[in-house]
């Protein structure tokens, strides 16, 4: 069992060393966090799919050595502008497809 490290801030859910994990592990983590924080309205603003798309964008950027310091941890924002949300959903869909064929970073 892999232990995923995470914490909540007032603005975001942060998954540390996010590129180490698979989409399935992140999905399970999101479900666990939602169960642990049922009254967190900020967390409920977005769907798991939206959070996973943002995570996948961070993970793929890290693996491609794009802004590694910034993309190492996935800071999944609770509230974001519609154009940013659209960008993450668009890029995240492709990132998830690419990550399906990659092994997690060790």
Does residue 36 lie within any of the structural domains? Answer: yes
pLDDT confidence of residue 90: 92
Q: Phi first, then psi: what are they for 45, rounded to 5°?
A: -70, -20
Rounded Cα–Cα distance for residues 18 and 16 (Å): 5
Lowest-confidence region among 7-21, 33-47, 62-76, 91-105: 91-105
Mean pLDDT value of segment 78-98: 90
State the residue for tokens 């943002």.
Answer: 54
Over 70: is that where the pLDDT of 23 sits?
A: yes
In a domain, 106, yes or no: no
Residue 71 lies inside a defined structural domain of this protein: yes
Residue 59 domain-assigned (yes or no): yes
Total of domains in the chain: 1
Determine the Cα–Cα distance for residues 18 and 71; give it in Å rounded to an integer: 8
Q: Packing angle between helix 48-63 and helix 23-36, nearest 10 degrees? A: 140
Residue 1 counted as domain residue: no
- Give the helix ranges, DSSP H, for the chain: 23-36, 48-63, 68-71, 82-99
Query: Is residue 52, in this structure, part of any structural domain at all?
Result: yes
Domain that holds residue 46: 6-99
The answer to whether position 104 is within a domain reads no
pLDDT, average across residues 84-100: 90
Q: What is the pLDDT of residue 1?
A: 47
Quick one: pLDDT band at residue 2, thresholds 50, 70, 90? low
Measured CA angle at 51 (ends 83, 7), to 5 deg: 120
């Amino acid at each position: 069992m892999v232990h995923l490290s995470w914490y909540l801030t007032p603005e975001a859910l942060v998954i540390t060393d996010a590129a180490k994990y698979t989409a399935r592990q992140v999905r399970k983590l999101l479900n666990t966090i939602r169960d642990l924080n049922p009254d967190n309205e900020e967390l409920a603003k977005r769907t798991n799919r939206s959070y996973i798309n943002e995570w996948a964008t961070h993970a793929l950027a890290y693996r491609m050595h794009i802004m590694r310091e910034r993309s190492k941890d996935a800071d999944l924002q609770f509230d974001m502008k519609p154009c940013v949300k659209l960008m993450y959903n668009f890029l995240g869909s492709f990132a998830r497809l690419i990550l399906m064929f990659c092994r997690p970073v060790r």
